[in-house]
């Protein structure tokens, strides 16, 4: 995928965060920092990445790799199961897309580390990569830095523009499902905080929601069941999503959240029943073992490849951590012996999924006979470093990629030329084992990316021209839309339901707010402020900074709520002062 606007490739879990070339900020990146202009896209896309590293995202990646392997074996006349499996992958991703966008928007506009003893990985990454500027005191811990960064961003004009844009998106799936997913997540949170005081900590809610859906072994079993046709698979998947999200209304939610939180605090990770919420640990382990066995079977007789999957659980508890380290050492030994079989090209995207790509650029690369590597971007020198052992001398076009290694909180660079990695720069705290695996996985993904995207395009075109699958796509879209509408409009009175739906489907809140751009912005800024404070004086001050009169705008929002029934302002509790201040729903 070429550099462009921020996006994510769900197969390799690769991010593309910036349209600006790497040389502009390479010096800061080598010091472990990212520029502030990347913050919104990083927060949004890194949340996608975090979701897809779990069981569900990994299962979808494995299925897609199976489909691509079948395509490569017979690219002209496809096996019938190839199209069916691809349709399942596409339908599953389509079903999850509104929720993924909603979770990412919630992370960008609402999540804020509160009183919980745990912090989501995304907030930890944010604190590390953006928390070392002159404006941020050095003595702050990760939680305090994350709060500081979020407050500064959500007070900015950029955040206001981005959220205002979301609020006038159509409430449909064909626009990526941004507003549909965002309102669904906000609705789940509004429902959850009525039953669990702990989930008033919006960052804890973010973590709980992510694990509830994307670490669901039952959903994985639905996706991997090749005995059912795509229509049945979609029905089961939509029903399962509905069941999981409805759990935010369960009577024992507070107890469940307390146990979940304590499990992380006590062990530093999740295992057993807490690895997949509300499921027996045996069911989770069985699904994980089946996925690992599938990799071993596919790569049988190809040394080194079967251990890739052990690298997929970097944030697990102590027992898994030991297993991860063992598999890393085994793979590193295989690679040290020059063992890079063809199967590594297949499974490199799976190993690659735990890494976060920041940016990739086409560059000119020169390796000298003395083992030095020099990299230039349009004639501008941007990197000089030792070449990797065995890198052939010579000059030519290559690719320079900037990566974040979440396990080690480290930014690193890898340069590839003529199908070979020629240079890699990582901080010393990144172990040799991790470096060796990362270099192979990254290089193989970079080299095979164009081919994989071409296969994806061909499979999608075949699906679009299949009469049987066209009807399935329409039914899938309707089913997914109805699923999320149930949550997005959950707090709308029945008498207003149809009117609200029709208005929101056109241009989001534009008509509900009287086609008043200032009121859209006022709603956006009020929601952004309420994400980090309930201090009425501070709320008024920030709204004044954005040239809004608090009383006038809140009065207008309440009128729109009375006229159309959509809950723009919802109290956290029944206390009189909460009813007065309200929790901005959107």
Q: Is the pLDDT of residue 529 over 60?
A: yes
pLDDT of residue 336: 52
Please state, rounded to an integer, the average pLDDT across all residues of the chain: 84
Q: What is residue 418's DSSP assignment?
A: T
483 touches 241 (CB < 8 A): yes
pLDDT band at 1 (very low <50, low <70, confident <90, very high): very low
Both structure tokens of 395: 């000059």
pLDDT at residue 284, as a whole number: 65
Q: How many other C-beta atoms are found inside a 10 Å radius of the C-beta of residue 117?
A: 11
Q: Does residue 537 form part of some domain?
A: yes
Q: How confident is the model at residue 332 (pLDDT cuts 50, 70, 90)?
A: low
For residue 527, being part of any structural domain is answered with: yes
| CA torsion, ordered 562, 567, 570, 574, to nearest 10 deg | 70
Query: What's the length of the chain?
Result: 586
| Residue 128's pLDDT band (cuts 50, 70, 90) | very high
Q: pTM value?
A: 0.88
Q: How confident is the model at residue 12 (pLDDT cuts 50, 70, 90)?
A: confident
Is 274 a domain residue? no
Q: What angle in degrees, to the nearest 10, is found between the helix axes of 281-298 and 217-224? A: 40
**Structural domain count of the chain:** 1
**Residue 103's pLDDT is what?**
98
Predicted pLDDT of residue 300: 41
**Rounded Cα distance, 78 and 462, in Å:** 10
Answer yes or no: is 517 within a domain.
yes
122 versus 447: the higher-pLDDT residue is 122
Q: Is the dihedral of CA 502, 503, 508, 512 positive or negative?
A: negative
Look-up: residue for tokens 């729903």? 585
* Contact between 351 and 295 (Cβ < 8 Å): no
Q: Give 502's pLDDT tier (boundaries 50, 70, 90).
A: very high
pLDDT tens column, 276-327: 566 656 666 677 666 666 655 554 433 333 333 333 344 444 554 554 455 4
**Are 184 and 488 a contacting pair, CB within 8 Å?**
yes
Which of 82-91, 167-176, 362-371, 422-431 shows the lowest per-residue confidence on average (mean pLDDT)? 82-91
Residue 146 lies in a domain: no
**Gyration radius (Cα) of the chain, Å:** 24
Is residue 275 in some structural domain? Answer: no
Structure confidence at residue 67 (pLDDT):
87
- pLDDT for 329 equals 56
d(Cα 34, Cα 43) in Å, to the nearest integer? 12
- Tell me the per-residue pLDDT of 536-557, one tens digit each, with 9 for 90 and over: 999 999 999 999 999 999 999 9
In terms of phi and psi (left: phi > 0; alpha: psi -120 to 50; beta: otherwise), the region of 18 is: beta
Cβ(499)–Cβ(195) below 8 Å: no
Instruction: Report the 3 state secondary structure along 446-498.
Output: HHHHHHHHHHHHHHHHHHHCCHHHHHHHHHHHHHHHHHHHHHHCCCCCHHHHH
Residue 422 has pLDDT above 90, yes or no: yes
More confident residue, 138 or 52: 52
- Residue 564 to residues 41, 155, 186, 512, 568, Cα–Cα distance (Å): 33, 29, 19, 7, 10
> What confidence score (pLDDT) does residue 319 get?
53
Q: Is the pLDDT of residue 381 over 90?
A: yes
The predicted pLDDT at position 11 comes to 85
Give the rounded percent of residues in the chain with a pLDDT score beyond 70: 80
The predicted-structure confidence for 63-122, as pLDDT tens digits, reads as follows: 988 888 888 776 565 667 788 888 889 999 999 999 999 999 999 999 999 999 999 999
Range of the domain at 527: 491-584
Distance CA 556, CA 554 (A): 5
Q: Is residue 20 part of a domain?
A: no
* Six token digits for residue 104: 């990412």
Give residue 9's pLDDT band: very low, low, confident or very high (50, 70, 90).
confident
Whole-number percent of the chain with pLDDT over 90: 58
Domain contains 523: yes
pLDDT, position 86: 87
Tokens of 111: 């999540």
- Residue 489, pLDDT > 80, answer yes
């Amino acid at each position: 995928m070429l550099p462009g606007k921020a996006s994510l490739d769900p197969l390799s879990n690769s991010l593309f965060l910036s349209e600006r070339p790497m040389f502009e900020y390479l010096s800061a990146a080598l010091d472990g920092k990212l520029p502030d202009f990347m913050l919104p896209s990083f927060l949004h896309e890194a949340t996608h990445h975090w979701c897809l590293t779990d069981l569900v995202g990994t299962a979808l990646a494995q299925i897609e790799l199976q489909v691509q392997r079948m395509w490569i074996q017979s690219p002209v006349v496809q096996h019938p199961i190839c199209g069916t499996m691809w349709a399942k992958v596409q339908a599953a991703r389509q079903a999850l897309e509104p929720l993924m966008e909603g979770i990412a928007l919630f992370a960008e506009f609402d999540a804020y580390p509160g009183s919980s003893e745990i912090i989501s990985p995304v907030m930890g990454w944010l604190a590390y990569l953006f928390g070392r500027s002159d404006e941020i005191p050095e003595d702050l811990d990760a939680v305090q830095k994350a709060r500081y960064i979020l407050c500064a961003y959500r007070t900015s004009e950029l955040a206001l523009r981005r959220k205002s844009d979301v609020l006038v998106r159509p409430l449909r799936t064909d626009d990526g499902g941004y507003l549909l997913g965002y309102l669904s997540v906000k609705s789940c949170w509004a429902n959850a905080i009525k039953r669990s005081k702990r989930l008033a900590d919006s960052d804890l809610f973010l973590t709980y929601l992510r694990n509830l859906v994307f670490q669901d072994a039952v959903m994985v079993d639905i996706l991997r069941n090749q005995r059912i046709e795509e229509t049945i698979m979609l029905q089961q998947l939509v029903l399962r999503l509905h069941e999981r999200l409805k759990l935010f209304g369960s009577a024992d939610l507070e107890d469940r959240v307390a146990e979940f939180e304590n499990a992380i605090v006590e062990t530093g990770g999740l295992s057993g029943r807490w690895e997949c919420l509300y499921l027996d640990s045996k069911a989770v382990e069985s699904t994980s073992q089946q996925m690992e066995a599938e990799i071993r079977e596919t790569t049988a007789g190809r040394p080194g490849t079967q251990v890739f999957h052990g690298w997929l659980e970097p944030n697990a508890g102590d027992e898994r951590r030991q297993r991860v380290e063992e598999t890393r050492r085994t793979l590193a030994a295989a690679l040290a012996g020059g063992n890079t079989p063809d199967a590594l090209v297949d499974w490199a995207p799976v190993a690659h999924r735990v890494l976060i790509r920041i940016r990739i650029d086409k560059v000119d690369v020169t390796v000298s006979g003395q083992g030095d590597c020099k990299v230039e971007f349009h004639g501008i020198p941007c990197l000089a470093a030792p070449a990797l052992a065995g890198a052939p001398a010579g000059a030519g076009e290559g690719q320079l990629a900037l990566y974040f290694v979440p396990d080690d909180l480290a930014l690193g660079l890898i340069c590839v030329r003529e199908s070979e990695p020629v240079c890699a720069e990582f901080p010393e705290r990144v172990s040799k084992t991790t470096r060796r695996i990362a270099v192979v996985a990254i290089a193989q993904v970079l080299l095979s990316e164009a081919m994989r995207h071409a296969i994806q395009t061909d499979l999608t075109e075949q699906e679009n021209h299949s009469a049987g699958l066209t009807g399935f796509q329409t039914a899938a879209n309707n089913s997914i839309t109805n699923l999320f509408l149930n949550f997005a409009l959950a707090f709308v009175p029945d008498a207003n339901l149809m009117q609200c739906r029709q208005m929101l489907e056109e241009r989001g809140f534009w008509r509900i707010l009287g086609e008043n751009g200032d009121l859209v912005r006022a709603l956006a800024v009020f929601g952004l402020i309420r994400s980090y404070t309930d201090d009425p004086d501070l709320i008024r001050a920030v709204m004044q900074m954005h040239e809004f009169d608090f009383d006038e705008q809140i009065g207008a929002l309440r009128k729109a709520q009375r006229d159309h029934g959509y809950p723009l302002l919802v109290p956290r509790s029944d206390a009189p002062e909460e009813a007065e201040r309200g929790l901005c729903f959107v």
